[in-house]
Amino acid sequence: MKNNIAIKKIEKDADSICIGIWVKVGSALENKQEQGLSHFIEHMLFKGTKKRTYRQIAEQMDTLGGVINAFTSREFTCFYVKVWEKYFLEAWDILTDIVTQSVIDKNELEQERKVILEEINMTQDMPDEYVFDVFMENAYKFSHLGCSILGTKEKILNYTRENLIRFMQEYYKKENIIITMGGKHRDIPLSALEGEWLYKPNENISSEDYQVAFTPGKDLIERKLEQSNIILGWPTCPIGNERKYAVSLFNNIFGGSMSSHLFQHIREEKGLAYSIGSSASFFKKTGLNYIFAGTSKKNTQTLVDEIKREIEKIKENYISSEELHKAKVCSKGKMILGLEDTKNLMLKAGTDLIYFGRYIEPEEVIKKIEDVKMDNIVEIIDDIDMNKMHLTILGDIKDIKW
């Protein structure tokens, strides 16, 4: 920690370095008048600084043969570069420049407004993504957690430069910044972050927080499509709860792999879906367990019935000791393989610092996975209540029984 900026370097003998600047703000922290601003700002920081145009930013990174990118989530925003370690200082200069010295030019804002509107259009034309957005909006309709990361077209059309700057002054503060790096050991110059930022933080603006309220129900969004896209979800524990390890192992067994219950029964045995599985997303205040699937119009009700039947079966029969053992081996192996990539090292360090205030060593995670007992999995399964689920279906469907 230096000048309120948390820093974590994960050393690895690799030719690449990936370094990220994280800001503790995402769509869940936005109020109704700010929806989509975190993502809008993410775009605008690439559109020119006091000393670089947007073209120079792109050309200089291309010259290095590296990658500069960013993403906005529900609880944070991350800007990062990945380059050959010999070019680290050049890439770091570009990254700190866009985060601290972007001018938010009015003309560029108008151009990027159009780009974001096209991004919204693109997402709405991708049924498997759009159905999840609709699910979140309706299942969390009384919580900002469900708000679209991209925002609405109406909001994007009306935001001004002043709206973006005010939001940056609210959240782009040194105490909200985290730096994480994966790769060869290099000193990180902090002068750009420690100096004056172009838009000084306004300490008189109070940051938003969000409440969690999951709403069970059913949504049918009619659209002329070849397939029905389905999301069925229910709440689970937040990311700071130790039960998350059992939740993750449950999903590996139930729908997270090719040998899982859902994949084997619904795809391999019944041939009802090409895409079928389950997963979990963990947030600061809650978690979401969900099943995703896609099938033809004529098979939609059958697929929903079969999913329901698989839930009933696992609630009745639970899982075997062999399944739990295999899930543990799989989960540990996937994590270790993932951390071979310097970008994944940077991402793990960042999310760990945001949610836990410290880096959790892989050995500690492995022990947590190994410590999960059958009773822990049984508890997760017993908590599943089909009366407390939310079902969203996007497709050429007028009714569905649940």
Q: In one letter, which amino acid is 59?
A: E
Q: In DSSP terms, which residues pair with 229 in a beta bridge?
A: 294, 394
What is the 8-class DSSP label of residue 5?
B
**Tokens read off for 383:** 């908590």
Give the CB-side neighbour count of residue 174, counting CA atoms within 13 A.
14
CA distance 281 to 115: 28
Handedness of CA 160, 203, 77, 52 (dihedral sign): positive
> Residue 194 is inside which H or E element, if any?
helix 191-194
CA distance 312 to 270: 17
Q: Which of 42, 75, 108, 310 is catalytic?
A: 42
H helical segments located in 259-299: 261-262
CA distance 390 to 34: 26
42 catalytic per annotation = yes
Specify whether the CB–CB gap between 89 and 119 falls below 8 A.
Answer: no
CA distance 390 to 394: 13
Which sequence positions are flagged as catalytic? Answer: 42
